[in-house]
Amino acid sequence: MQLPLIKNTIQLKDFRKLARDLTLVENDLAGSEDLLKELGPSDTPVIGITGPPGAGKSTLVNAMINYLSSQGKSIAVLAIDPTSPFNLGSLLGDRVRMSEQFNKPNVFIRSLATRGSLGGLSGKTIEMTDVLKSSGFDYILVETVGVGQSEVEIAGLADISVVVLVPESGDEIQSMKSGLMEIADIFVVNKSDREGAEAFANNLKKLVHQRSEIIPVINTIADQSTGVDELMQVIKDQPFKNNTRRTFLLAEKAWKLIQHEKMKNISRIKLHEEISSASVDPSFNLYRFVDRILGSIKNS
């Protein structure tokens, strides 16, 4: 795949500068708006990896990196970590399980906290992914925290959405969320050496065949790299989102960016402090409190 000319100054191997630019964007520092507005177009595919906790997403991403790097591909990974409800920071930080990748010259890994976004993806996720897209990588992998609606929201970010499940999900297959079924471009049944894996995969295939298009179901054992070759081939063969869906997803991204812009002057930590102080008053009313906050935003 021939990558387009990039307008901005980020160079593929200048990881230190890339890290600084991502920090600018993540923290809304001076220069971040200009950087984002100068980003050029890019056809670098973004592959979203999502699924429930414990499905082995990080292990699968690690195996995918090994596969791609062995082919001389450059890869950027954005790992969305859970946010602490108390300090709003990332609970995991850089992934220990991906430690073998950090010294590879063609691999760049960055962790990002969800920042309290209920869906697991914040406006910063979109902006930082776009920075990575304009940096000349061959592939970008975005691994979500896998809670709440992040499985659905990843569809608004990724060109290809890979949903990772495990055989133990078999009892839940009939009640699987319709949103998850709609956004998945590929299903992966990981840990397929476990009992019931084949039956689960077969049931999943029957379920996805009810859709208008066929969704591939791939069996993997990520910690042994089994099935990763097949998964990567299916990813390469997947078409990008059609124009109708692409327009819808761009609108969803724009909505989240506008939402983030409107909320950026509200410090969640400061909000905690203010409500902690105000709520000790016996006459405290949450709705009056919120109305006062909204009034201060309008006047700022």
Return the domain boundaries, the chain.
Answer: 15-259, 267-299
Q: Determine contact, residues 4/41, Cβ cutoff 8 Å.
A: yes
- Measuring CA to CA, how many Å separate 3 from each of 12, 16, 42, 169, 209? 12, 22, 7, 39, 34
Give the separation between CA 187 and CA 165, rounded to whole angstroms.
Answer: 7
Fold classified for 15-259: Rossmann fold (3.40.50)
Number of Cβ atoms within 10 Å of the Cβ of 91: 14
pLDDT score, position 146: 61
Beta-carbon contacts of 85 under 8 Å, excluding residues fewer than 6 positions away, are: 116
Q: Which residues of the chain have pLDDT under 50?
A: 1-11, 84-94, 116-120, 148-149
Q: How far is CA 106 from CA 29, 67, 133, 277, in A?
A: 27, 12, 15, 50
Q: Measuring CA to CA, how many Å separate 129 from each of 26, 80, 125, 141?
A: 11, 11, 6, 9
- Percent of the chain residues topping a pLDDT of 70: 73
pTM for the predicted model, two decimal places: 0.78
pLDDT for the residue numbered 125 = 84
Phi/psi region, residue 56 (left: phi>0; alpha: psi -120 to 50; beta: rest), is left
Q: Would you call 120 helix, strand, or coil by DSSP?
A: coil
In Å, how far from its chain's centre is CA 106?
A: 20
Q: Residue 18 CB: number of other CB atoms within 10 A?
A: 21
CB 268 within 8 A of CB 88: yes
- Name the strands in the sheet holding 139-143, side by side, starting at the edge strand that comes first in the sequence: 107-113, 75-81, 139-143, 46-50, 160-165, 186-189, 217-219
The span from the CA of 257 to the CA of 19, in Å, is 21
Write the DSSP symbol of residue 155.
Answer: G
pLDDT at 184: 83
Would you say 180 and 169 are in contact if contact means Cβ atoms under 8 Å apart? no
Q: Give the residue among 60, 259, 250 at the shortest CA–CA distance from 155.
A: 250
CA distance 298 to 300: 6
